Structure 1
């Protein structure tokens, strides 16, 4: 409900400034799933986040209503897990879409024909607009204000509500959460060892030697168990460890580079930015907990 009511606040503030500008307004209402109007067709519908774990697979009546509204010209929008309802309504096949990064695996399994791009906070595909995490309704609300009332009103709303509208991506926030729920115990043991020895030699050759496996066998078993190639896994693991050190310590970035297993600070900086979307220094400035 914080998303639904918060978006109402954004639209109401926008309407105040719109009235002072050229009189344009955005009419809006919060609808209940068990009391959906058959008419009229709306300009947009928004499926909000939810914290219940429900994904709406059995909400057939709501799916039909979403599909009818979209067919009648409504922009179908979602924030966070709201994208599951758009998917169950059959609207996302072949479409670029985002949802919360932690739902990536679940969403991809449910909607294999959607083009999930979970690194993005918001994706506007004209008649389908999706936003990422629980609080990404803010980005979605501003996007809709811009669509109907223009950038000048967006700027006024942001100043009024102390919102920073630009420069965010989901990859700035996401965490690396490796899979440990597979049945390959030697690989699990290796993963646990890597967690505690991130600064060690994590080359394929060394890891294969540690398990007394050929490099080819290790490649195959590791990818099958974790879903990631070893090189990608090591990069993600080391960047995640670096994030923690940036958040919780005052260590110089060059020392953090060495602490997570890299010898070349410039190479580490390029890798960190490619994975996180921001430089290590910007990440520390934004996310430090000290």
Structure 2
């Protein structure tokens, strides 16, 4: 009979934490424990799941649920769930900051899902780190935490002692990632099969849509952005764009990059690919026809741009998301 090692995953129930994710993760780990198998040294691993909460202001953060009997330890991973409302403010997070820092300082891992990244970032532990959150929160997150390296294309970023997951439903991906870490790929795959979800490996950019920055305050750049939206980004000649904006070409390049975070060429590519995603989902046009319609005369070049931005080929995207 093999020995059993128990890894503990804690969930922090901060104000506004999404309870469906908390309960979903609780069930996911319960399912995963059915597939605990002895490893190479005869040691099998199961996952203990605990919930943590500050029951009233000024009180300590305590364990309020434990999935197993027996003497509890300290969680190996503390997870900050998503929220369905606005991301938690610094004031809401304040009672948990030092507690999270101490957990990390003593060797514990911290993980966040969706807007839980705002809670995690308030600890200061994400400075200079590459992290992800929901793509809708990109601008708000960058404004609050400008020294954190945000990558909203990624669904999960595993940085060892810090894990971050993107969208609201990315709790499934993070849960499977932790099952893989503690119990191995076999248990992870079997758990995913029971839940009928894809194993980790998706990317958030498959699902995101281009959401241009418009609140930058540069009226000339904003004028050009509105014109590019109307013309679907098909005009990319810098002299033409500069004329629309009423700026010199070099001035436009500098101000456009500062305002939007990308060059005019990159911006137009995003607009064109966004339009092509709509056509792939809702029409039966061929990829070649769509390439021409959005402004690319070379379908091969269009495919390369599409893969670079979306992470899937046009055909793969249509197969996954097409409704026709």
- The alignment's TM-score, normalised by the length of structure 1, stands at 0.92
The answer to whether the Cα contact below 8 Å between 1:223 and 1:230 also exists between their aligned partners in 2 is: yes
Aligned counterpart, 1:26: 47
1:23 CA drift (Å): 5.8
Structure 1 residues 185 and 116, CA gap change in structure 2 (3 angstroms): closer
Aligned counterpart, 1:14: 32
Q: Is 1:287 the equivalent of 2:312? A: no
Aligned counterpart, 2:141: 107
Aligned counterpart, 2:82: 49
| In 2, Cα distance between equivalents of 1:185 and 1:148 | 52
1:37 CA drift (Å): 2.3
Q: Secondary structure at the residue paired with 2:45?
A: coil
| In 2, Cα distance between equivalents of 1:36 and 1:25 | 25
Root mean square deviation of aligned Cα: 2.2
1:19 CA drift (Å): 7.3
1:54 CA drift (Å): 3.1
The answer to whether the Cα contact below 8 Å between 2:132 and 2:152 also exists between their aligned partners in 1 is: yes
Comparing 200-209 and 121-130, the one that deviates more? 200-209
Aligned counterpart, 1:117: 151
Aligned counterpart, 1:176: 210
Q: How does 1:122-141 map to 2 (within 5 A)?
A: 122-141=156-175
Aligned counterpart, 1:64: 98
1:94 CA drift (Å): 2.5
Comparing 271-280 and 23-32, the one that deviates more? 23-32
1:7 CA drift (Å): 0.6
Aligned counterpart, 2:62: 37
Structure 1 residues 156 and 205, CA gap change in structure 2 (3 angstroms): same
| Number of aligned residue pairs | 290
1:187 CA drift (Å): 3.2
Aligned counterpart, 2:185: 151
Q: Name the structure where helix makes up a greater proportion of residues.
A: 1
| In 1, Cα distance between equivalents of 2:290 and 2:144 | 39
Aligned counterpart, 2:296: 262
Comparing 174-183 and 46-55, the one that deviates more? 174-183
| In 2, Cα distance between equivalents of 1:19 and 1:36 | 33
Comparing 266-275 and 95-104, the one that deviates more? 95-104
Q: Is 1:215 the equivalent of 2:240? A: no
The answer to whether the Cα contact below 8 Å between 1:182 and 1:225 also exists between their aligned partners in 2 is: yes
| In 1, Cα distance between equivalents of 2:218 and 2:124 | 36
The answer to whether the Cα contact below 8 Å between 1:245 and 1:256 also exists between their aligned partners in 2 is: yes
Structure 1 residues 217 and 289, CA gap change in structure 2 (3 angstroms): same
The answer to whether the Cα contact below 8 Å between 2:87 and 2:118 also exists between their aligned partners in 1 is: no
| In 1, Cα distance between equivalents of 2:182 and 2:320 | 31
Q: Secondary structure at the residue paired with 1:31?
A: strand
Render the CA deviation track for 1:60-116: whole Å, top value 9, x for unaligned: 221111111112222111111111111111211232221112222222222233222
| In 1, Cα distance between equivalents of 2:81 and 2:245 | 47
Q: Name the structure where strand makes up a greater proportion of residues.
A: 2
The answer to whether the Cα contact below 8 Å between 1:42 and 1:73 also exists between their aligned partners in 2 is: no
Query: Which structure 2 segments of 5+ residues have no match?
Result: 1-18, 64-71
Q: Secondary structure at the residue paired with 1:94?
A: coil
Comparing 247-256 and 208-217, the one that deviates more? 208-217
Aligned counterpart, 2:283: 249
- The alignment's TM-score, normalised by the length of structure 2, stands at 0.83
